[in-house]
Structure 1
Amino acid sequence: MTAEYSAVELSRGRVEYRWIGPRGSGLPVLVFLHEGLGCVALWKDFPDRVAEATGLPALVYSRIGYGGSSPCALPRPLTYMHEEGEQGLPELLAALGIRRHILVGHSDGASISLIYAGAAQHQDLLGIAVMAPHSFCEEVSVASIRAANDAFTHGDLRVRLAKYHGANVDCAFHGWCDGWLDPDFMRWNIEGYVDRIKVPVLVIQGEDDEYGTAAQVESIARRVAGAETLMLPACGHSPQRDQPEATLDAIAGFIRKLTA
């Protein structure tokens, strides 16, 4: 499918995005929400492959403070994912004229997807596929983020991230890391939003996820009637990178059922 890069001005700043496939087709749009250190470019070709497999157009965007989008103010509030799910994402969809849509979220993007789906009954939301979601904070998450902070401060992580985030590298890292390492973040919990989700949900997690345990999947499965779950062996926090074929097959199959 063809793809184009563009940007849109929203109330909080400029948001870069990549559009895959035709515009104005009337087909549901796949909306990809990146992880806590991600952006448009870090998705690589995974959105293209999902779009190709399903025949649907896709929107891939960088949240404020990431990639080529506007910088964010630091420190971010501990409710930054709530704000994106309840305000930022709805504003973006409205600005781009997106009606029927399916969310595909990873990590923070998965949690934002859960918040969005539970915050309101969006009539045009067909379903959500989430990879490595968090609906509450675990000590294993905090321990891994402490290790990432050390790699950013003393290792080469800052240099590697700067290739994708440019001048936003500190916004991207500290906006994510400093929130999760705040002692108050241990009380962060969005299970109340998950309780209110009425659309179909697919949850994918790696058995070796260094940022979360199977309890994350189990909580969502208990709270969303009919939720589909997939635990992938030999897979860490990024199923789309560690087990791309199995992840693609699961998400494409889920989406085909939503649009049949």
Structure 2
Amino acid sequence: MPTPNEAPVTETEWSIRTAKGTLYAKSWVPEADLAAPIILFHDSLGSVDLWRGFPQRLASETNRRVIAYDRLGFGRSDAHPEQLALNFVATEARDSIPPLCEQLGVTEFVACGHSVGGGMAVETAAHFPERCRALITIAAQAFVEERTLAGIRDAKRDFQDPANVARLARYHGEKARWVLDAWTETWLSPGFADWTLDRALAMVRCPVLSLHGDRDEYGSSAHPERIAAGRGIARLLPDTGHVPHREQEALVLDAIRSFLDGL
């Protein structure tokens, strides 16, 4: 429910049919829905539910419809029929966004993603330059950095504790082990070592805001600098780790609102 200072927001759940399975999606629509909606792309262990209250407050703050969805294999979407391919960041834009937009009646949009979801937002902006009005990344990676791999190795060790896998299963059910392996084994694979967003970034034509915590354990400031270079704003958030929209929600909301208001 909105707080007394927030405008009312209507929530709706959706089932999005794709060639490989059905995706769970949810939208938050403010009373004053004034501009292109924001599509949220979750992180490697994320889901619609793990965005928590952020989408509702984002819709209220920006007066824009906000749409979040569980990628195939995650959350309340269908199980993924295969292992995650090494080009999964790019194929997400091609495979999921067209049916999502078609079934929700979206023509133009703002792409906004957290962590690897930020990479998917970049790929979406690159694939649909006429439709993407703005690009926002939050703690996104633009290339494979040793800090990122070190953080993933640490997390992989932590998930040897069954209790941590059980906590992940609260959001992904029986898919939890697939979700975990899709993250750790893909990023740590030698075949993924040369992955970058450089080709997609060269195709981005919309304004860019790249937010990043100065204490992000999964990536240095080189990532937002590369994402925003010549395209927009890179903003380093103080005393912030890898989940800025949870650790510094008010600061992130204010940054996004100001950026979109200035378009």
- Determine if the alignment matches structure 1 residue 174 to structure 2 residue 181: yes
In the TM superposition, 1:7-156 aligns within 5 A as 7-21=15-29, 27-121=35-129, 123-154=130-161, 156=163
Q: Give CA-to-partner distance per residue, 1:164-194, whole Å, 9 cap, x none.
A: 1112212221112210010221111121110
Of the structure 1 ranges 99-108 and 112-121, higher mean CA displacement relative to structure 2 is found in 112-121
Mapped partners of 2:136, 2:226: distance in 1: 15
CA RMSD of the aligned region, Å?
1.6
Residues 221 and 124 (structure 1), Cα distance of their counterparts in 2 relative to 1, 3 Å cut = closer
Q: 2:5 corresponds to which residue?
A: none
Separation in 2, partners of 1:220, 1:19:
27
SS of corresponding position for 2:236:
strand
Alignment partners' CA distance in 2, 1:60 and 1:47: 8
User: Deviation per CA, 1:230-254, whole angstroms, max 9, x where unpaired?
Assistant: 1011100111011111111001111
Deviations 1:70-104 (A, max 9, x none): 11134211111111022222332123221121111
Q: Name the CA distance, whole Å, in 2 between partners of 1:219 and 1:2.
A: 36
Find 1:219's aligned residue among 211, 226, 231: 226
Moved >4 Å (runs of 4+): none
User: 1:155 deviation in Å?
Assistant: 5.0
Separation (CA, whole Å) in 2 of partners of 1:257 and 1:59: 21
Distance (whole Å) between structure 2 residues aligned to residue 4 and residue 116 of structure 1: 23
Where 1:179 maps in the other structure, the secondary structure is helix
Mapped partners of 2:61, 2:225: distance in 1: 28
Structure 2 regions of 5+ residues with no counterpart? 1-8
Q: Distance in 2 between matches of 1:75 and 1:142?
A: 20
Residues 1:252 and 2:257 are matched in the alignment: yes
Query: What is the aligned residue count?
Result: 254
Q: Is the 8 A contact 2:212 2:235 kept in 1?
A: yes
Quick one: which amino acid aligns to residue 46 of structure 2?
G
Q: In the TM superposition, what is the alpha-carbon distance from 1:163 to its structure 2 partner?
A: 0.8
Aligned to 1:195: 202
Q: Could you tell me how far apart the structure 2 residues matched to 1:94 and 1:4 are?
A: 16
Aligned partners of 2:50, 2:167: CA distance in 1, in Å?
Answer: 11
Q: Aligned AA for 2:258?
A: G
Give, in whole Å, the separation in 1 of the partners of 2:206 and 2:228: 13
CA distance in 2 between counterparts of 1:11 and 1:22 reads: 31
**Matched-pair contact (CA < 8 Å) for 1:74–1:175:** no
What 5-or-longer segments of structure 1 have no aligned partner? none
Which residue number in structure 2 is paired with residue 230 of structure 1? 235
Give TM-score scaled by structure 2 length. Answer: 0.91
Larger helix fraction of residues: 1
Give the letter aligned to residue 161 of structure 2. Answer: H
Give identity over the alignment, percent.
30
State whether residues 75 and 178 of structure 1, in contact with CA within 8 Å, keep that contact through their aligned partners in structure 2. Answer: no
- After superposing the two structures, state which structure 1 stretch, 204-213 or 6-15, moved more: 6-15
Residues 27 and 119 of structure 1, relative CA distance in 2, 3 Å threshold: closer
CA distance in 2, matches of 1:27, 1:192: 29
TM-score using structure 1 length: 0.92
